[in-house]
Structure 1
């Protein structure tokens, strides 16, 4: 862990998972932001509770690993530190435990869990949900680098859930599919939406939503070519999380997308 700065001005930010690819990029973005100060760079072997206390962090950013992220969030809540989370591995059960801990702590802490911080990805998810009610068929293809440990991606699952909600609200049934054999080739099914995961060297993070009607197709595609594309969304989360106590899932709630 690097030593914190002395009495910096602005939002005091601690980065968890600071030695990882995303964590190191977040550290640079925070250090370069004029209204923020990077007060702690936290590795997996550091005492998180002590570091948050000693650094007097206002906001923590977690880009660690799925096996550690829930415990990190709980520690931040107990310390009264807001936390912006980009680590993957979240499901309804783990989110429920975080919501319960927030209610117990009742200290005004805010938690943002965002499957994707790319603004183009957030807009893709939003546009896909708006379009899904008007199309008979919808499927998702997500493409990532081969070092990614989870599949389907959190972004794809979040997209599928939003699409499924929109289709239910519109009274849409499931997409037609006459497959009777080789069904494992049809990808994972998330909330009734087929999701196909590609892991390929040279990719970073990409998503396609394919929507079809008789005689027409709409394709919504998002590409992140480097990790700097996620930084505007991360900084937005850091700036707004103090005004959003409780649990928020998805960066779209921090944007004016009405």
Structure 2
């Protein structure tokens, strides 16, 4: 029996890749899309999307009331993504969310709702399996090389900075790294922000340029040595294996899971 899927954000670069992935996966069935501009149309009416007679809704609540679905894939912006995820959980639809930028308070709200309703939810700052492995390696390395900085680089249309992946990487590093302040104690910025954001002494630098997709370096320094752990996504197909894995796994969960690494273990 196929898994019935709703996709939020089908016109976006990630969303259109997800539409094609679901359409090409025998065990998935695309049953609806959420889009703020094309209410009442079909997926076939949108340029560069498959020739599918799948309905498009603007109002997520109307969609969830009228369409029987198992999973919501949300690849929109943080505000819309939070609303869609919260409503999906209320309608017993399992969310798979690739929207970064949720606050800790929002994640707690969704986690509580997921637990109360006994329904799975996966939120992943990054769906690229290679990026998740990069984060895991970064966590291990920080135990031995605690002086570390993160450089994340994304396309210039990304709304949040630092990226959810960089924040997640820093959080994972903190699990093994002893807290410390890095650099010279009398260091000062001649220009505000020159040293990037700071969390627990870890510096995070965000680059936004056209031509980039999603890239991150974690750089460690020690006496006489440096170590760089790097991952690059050159196109958005790199995220689809993680999305597909999450759709298959969320069906079996009864709580919220934050981070793709939790279902790779």
Settle same-fold status: TM greater than 0.5: yes
2:205 pairs with 1:196: yes
1:65 maps to: 77
Deviation at 1:110, TM superposition (A): 1.1
2:105 pairs with 1:93: yes
> Which secondary structure does the structure 2 equivalent of 1:243 belong to?
coil
Could you report, residue by residue, the CA deviation over 1:196-243 in whole angstroms, capped at 9, with x for unpaired residues? Answer: 011111110000000111011110000000000000000000000011
1:115 maps to: 125
1:245 maps to: 254
Could you report, residue by residue, the CA deviation over 1:71-112 in whole angstroms, capped at 9, with x for unpaired residues? Answer: 111100100010000112212111111122234xx3321111
Q: Provide the C-alpha distance between the structure 2 equivalents of 1:191 and 1:146, rounded to a whole number of angstroms.
A: 27
Could you report, residue by residue, the CA deviation over 1:48-75 in whole angstroms, capped at 9, with x for unpaired residues? Answer: 1221232211000001111211111110
Deviation at 1:30, TM superposition (A): 0.8
Between 57-66 and 36-45, report the one with greater CA deviation. 36-45
1:34 maps to: 26
> Which secondary structure does the structure 2 equivalent of 1:166 belong to?
coil
> Which secondary structure does the structure 2 equivalent of 1:186 belong to?
coil
> Which secondary structure does the structure 2 equivalent of 1:44 belong to?
coil
CA gap 1:76/1:225 in 2 versus in 1, 3 angstroms = same
Q: Provide the C-alpha distance between the structure 2 equivalents of 1:226 and 1:52, rounded to a whole number of angstroms.
A: 31
State TM-score, norm by structure 2. 0.87
> Which secondary structure does the structure 1 equivalent of 2:107 belong to?
helix
Deviation at 1:175, TM superposition (A): 3.0
- Which of 159, 167, 172 is matched with 1:149 structurally? 159
1:5 maps to: none
Deviation at 1:190, TM superposition (A): 2.8
Q: Provide the C-alpha distance between the structure 2 equivalents of 1:26 and 1:49, rounded to a whole number of angstroms.
A: 21
Q: Does the 8 A contact of 2:180 with 2:200 survive in 1? A: no
2:36 maps to: 44
Q: Which runs of 4+ in 1 moved over 6 A?
A: none
2:45 maps to: none
Q: Provide the C-alpha distance between the structure 2 equivalents of 1:247 and 1:112, rounded to a whole number of angstroms.
A: 6
1:181 maps to: 189
Q: Provide the C-alpha distance between the structure 2 equivalents of 1:107 and 1:89, rounded to a whole number of angstroms.
A: 24
2:140 pairs with 1:130: yes
Unaligned runs of 5+ in 2: 38-57
Q: Provide the C-alpha distance between the structure 1 equivalents of 2:258 and 2:114, rounded to a whole number of angstroms.
A: 14
Q: Provide the C-alpha distance between the structure 2 equivalents of 1:230 and 1:99, rounded to a whole number of angstroms.
A: 23
Unaligned runs of 5+ in 1: 1-8
Aligned residues: 243
- Which of 213, 221, 242 is matched with 1:212 structurally? 221
2:55 maps to: none
Flag the structure with higher helix content: 1
Q: Provide the C-alpha distance between the structure 2 equivalents of 1:37 and 1:110, rounded to a whole number of angstroms.
A: 19
State TM-score, norm by structure 1. 0.90
Q: Does the 8 A contact of 2:5 with 2:28 survive in 1? A: yes
RMSD after superposition: 1.4
